[in-house]
Amino acid sequence: MEQNKASALRRKQFEANEKETRVALLGTIIRDFDSMIAQLEGQIAAEEDRTRIKDPGHPAYSTFAKAAAKRRQNLLISVAHTRSMLDVAKRELKEIAAELLDLEPIHSNQPSLATEATCAA
């Protein structure tokens, strides 16, 4: 019986570690996308200043600016999707942290992964 509890505890700790890693990775991806979006906005503005045409509907509007604007739009969509995935991952991490609290022995004086995950989230 005690071995089953220890096994379940290790499994939940592993799941919590995996979720923490996923949350960190998704946060990094979002920051990278935001940085790329800012760079593209700067490139679009520079190209519009260079050509002195700011209207995308103008026949002589820069092809580079059009392509950069399309890429920026795609990145904005990706950021929104990644943010929703991050929200789900954070919610799953909180659920696993709560399960870990139930599995961990109450008399243990060691700081638990579940309490660390709850504090971090």
| CA distances from residue 100 to 53, 55, 58, 90 in whole angstroms, order as listed | 59, 56, 60, 15
Mean local confidence (pLDDT), 77-98: 96
Indicate the pLDDT class of residue 48, thresholds 50, 70 and 90: very high
Tally of domains within the chain: 1
Q: Is the pLDDT of residue 3 over 80?
A: no
Q: List the domain range (segments joined by +) for residue 96.
A: 2-120
What pLDDT is recorded for position 31?
98
Q: Is the pLDDT of residue 46 over 60?
A: yes
What pLDDT is recorded for position 4?
78
> pTM for the full model?
0.77
Mean local confidence (pLDDT), 34-57: 97
